[in-house]
Structure 1
Amino acid sequence: MRTKAVATAALLTLALTACGAEIAPAGDAAAGSAHYPVTVDNCGTKVTFERKPARTVTNDVGITELMFALGLADRMAGYVMPDDKGQVDKVAWKDGYQQARWLSRQQITKEIALEARADLVFAGWHYGFDEAGGFTPQALAGLGIGSYVLSESCRSGKGPERGVMSPLDALYTDLANLGEIFDVRDRADALIADFRAQVAAVPQPERRPRVFLYDSGEDKPYTSGKFAAPQEIIARAGGENVMGDLADSWTTVGWESVVQRDPEVIVINNYGSPDAEAKRKFLTSFPPLAGVSAVRNGRIFVLDYVDLVESPRNPAAITALAAHLRGVTAG
């Protein structure tokens, strides 16, 4: 951690550089090209970029991998995420983890952004941005640092509830916006087309099994409403999210409502070993769930956290879950 004097100096430097001359990677003298300025719609707000960001700091694994999937590791000052990123050695953009710097395993802060000399922070509400901690786009703007808000996390205008578009639309929107912001629209368009094709190739069943997404919680479960990524992952895989009528993204419900809706499959959101096994043990031994179809028939499926938040892994997660659901309908 830098001293207060050094942080103040960094703040003064950012005030002069964040919206003006950028600190560009080597060989990038044309950062202020004719492409700029560009304006994108981010969560209902028009945001203008005078030039290509050069020192982006990302928060969390899904957000970071959006940058990597677009080949933008060289435009990053680094990323913030917990120790357990899951399996990264098989993803197509694994080299990004070698190129970009891992800034912190803890919560993202203004100090981290200042220390990294960030000119852009890419995070989301509940994915880094938080009024209680004072880490908001408005606070960063006061430091001369730009922000881009993850579209999955857009506030709906009804208090803290999030979600203004379907989850895959949020993914495609962010890819398209990042393509404009970083002047890599061809890459973004190709990635969007590939993801759309992957999703379209998944066959849809005649009958849709009822699916409950279990993230965490024993007194009350934390799950996905219709605006979080699991909603569309489940639907495009051929299932029906039993909490898909909730006009929120990630939210808490009661166990009574889970029992009443009798899911045939429970999908566990895995935060890393031994997380999934601990959750499976709880679900299969929790008395109120004993009569639920998914528990009674042993239909519990595991996906990793990064699969279930907005990320470039969403299409592959749809394919994997679809294969499991076909076994339910076949049986």
Structure 2
Amino acid sequence: MNRRRSLFPRYPALASLALLSLVLAPVPAAASGFPVTVESCGRPITFDKAPQRAVAHDQNISEIMFALGLQPHMVGLTGITGWYKMTPEFRAAMGDLPELAPKHPTMENLLAVDPDFFFAGWYYGMNPGGEITPDTLGAHGVAVYELTESCVHIDSGQPRATLDTLYADVRNVGAIFGQREKAEALVEGWQARVARIQGQVAGSVPVEVFLYDSGEDKPFTAGRHAMPTALIEAAGGRNVMDDVPTSWGTVGWEAVLEREPDFIVLVDYDAGGWEKSWAFLQEHHGMSGLAAVREGRFLPLRYGEITPGPANIDAVEKLARALHPERFGE
């Protein structure tokens, strides 16, 4: 049955009035901020409306979504419990969102929930040439936004990491979901906190810092394009590997020893994570001789604090106090 023709079959006068009202009625305005176009690793992507069935991969990326209050737009997460401790705060923010895969998602994992958006990154849930990429998901109608820090894996011309790397992602994701004002308020609050810290450490000699993630034959660490470089600098330090042209990668122990870091950041993944790393350094034939190891100058930071996400600001504050205790009365 043609419902359009059956609306007013017995009342032609009412039909005329209804049609007139439709002609004179104002055209509804587009939803706030839409359509919106953002850049993702050099790709312009356009959204006519906010995604309604989003999936986020990894702890830090999920925390960006949570900070923007986007849980109602989400249908799941991937890559959490297979690697990291689930903090009470993360679990509370996650609510009843399902974890679709404890580590790397498969195409089957993702398509099972009929997503319209995937927020991930290169080596944050996607690998160049792998099963899950913007192209492979795009073929199924799923838009992908890539974590900016990870773009260096497909474009070596990316600039070094700064806190603007984080701020850009938050602003872009806010725009994608029609939450520009909330994103800007978050960024402005973070900038104010960082400015206070930088004011307190201003004039201090930068402390030479080495981040030890994992690895025994060769240490896995953060280079020029990884977020810890920006966090360490904001806290009044210098990443001793800031000349290594990568984000995350391996270096030789000899390179670490040559640079004689004065402080070490350990990555706290799971139960006993940083403790195992610290015990290894204390027993390592070369690293055990560094003053930073002998004198116990180190700070454990959780994965979500050293990868791009809201917890980066907490990390800057913790690092500044650890690197320059004299500036904080500690």
Give the Cα separation in 2 of the matches to 1:170 and 1:206.
25
Work out whether 1:103 is the aligned partner of 2:107: no
Identity rate of aligned residues, in percent? 38
- Compute the displacement of 1:34 (Å): 5.4
Is 1:219 the counterpart of 2:217 in the alignment? yes
Distance in 1 of aligned mates of 2:51 and 2:210: 40
After TM superposition, the structure 1 = structure 2 runs for residues 194-205 of structure 1, keeping only pairs within 5 Å, are 194-202=189-197, 203-204=200-201, 205=203
Unaligned 5+ runs, structure 1 = 1-29
Q: Secondary structure at the match of 1:154?
A: helix
Q: Is 1:134 the counterpart of 2:131 in the alignment?
A: yes
2:325 pairs with 1:327: yes
Q: What amino acid maps onto 1:155 in structure 2?
A: V
TM-score normalised per structure 1:
0.84
Per-residue deviation, residues 204-232 of structure 1 (Å, max 9, x unmatched): 25211110000111111110012111101
Distance 1:201 1:134, change over 3 A: same
More divergent stretch after superposition (225-234 vs 59-68): 225-234
Quote the offset at 1:246 in angstroms: 1.6
Secondary structure at the aligned position of 1:290 is classed as helix
8 A contact 1:163–1:249 mirrored in 2: no
The equivalent residue for 1:20 is none
Distance 1:226 1:165, change over 3 A: closer
Would you say the 8 A contact 1:154–1:164 is kept in 2?
no
Q: Aligned equivalents of 1:62 and 1:292: distance in 2?
A: 32
Number of matched residues?
Answer: 298
Q: Deviations over 1:215-261 (max 9, x none)?
A: 11111111001211110111111111100112221111110010000
Residue aligned with 2:88, SS = coil
CA RMSD in angstroms, aligned pairs only: 2.2
Partners of 2:157 and 2:264 in 1: CA distance: 23
| SS across alignment from 1:233 | helix
The CA deviation at 1:71 is 0.5
Q: Is the radius of gyration larger for structure 1 or structure 2?
A: 2
1:89 and 2:95 aligned: no
What is the match of residue 71 of structure 1? Answer: 69
Partner of 1:13: none
Letter matched to residue 313 of structure 1: A
**Structure 2 vs 1, CA of residues 229 and 43 (structure 1 numbering), >3 Å: closer, same or farther?**
same
Task: Tell whether 2:177 aligns with 1:182.
Answer: yes
AA partner of residue 302 (structure 2): D
Q: Secondary structure at the residue paired with 2:318?
A: helix
Pairwise CA distance, 1:81: 2.1
Q: Of 124, 149, 152, which residue of structure 2 is paired with 1:152? A: 149
Which residue is 1:281 aligned to?
279
> How far did residue 89 of structure 1 move?
2.8
CA distance in 1, matches of 2:264, 2:126: 29
- Higher deviation after alignment, 225-234 or 118-127: 225-234
2:209 counterpart letter in structure 1 = V
Answering whether residue 291 of structure 2 is matched by residue 296 of structure 1, we say no
Unpaired segments ≥5 residues, structure 2: 1-27
Aligned AA (2:122): W
Contact 2:147 2:169 in 1 (8 A): yes
Matched, 1:172 2:167: yes
8 Å CA contact 1:306, 1:313 repeated in 2: yes
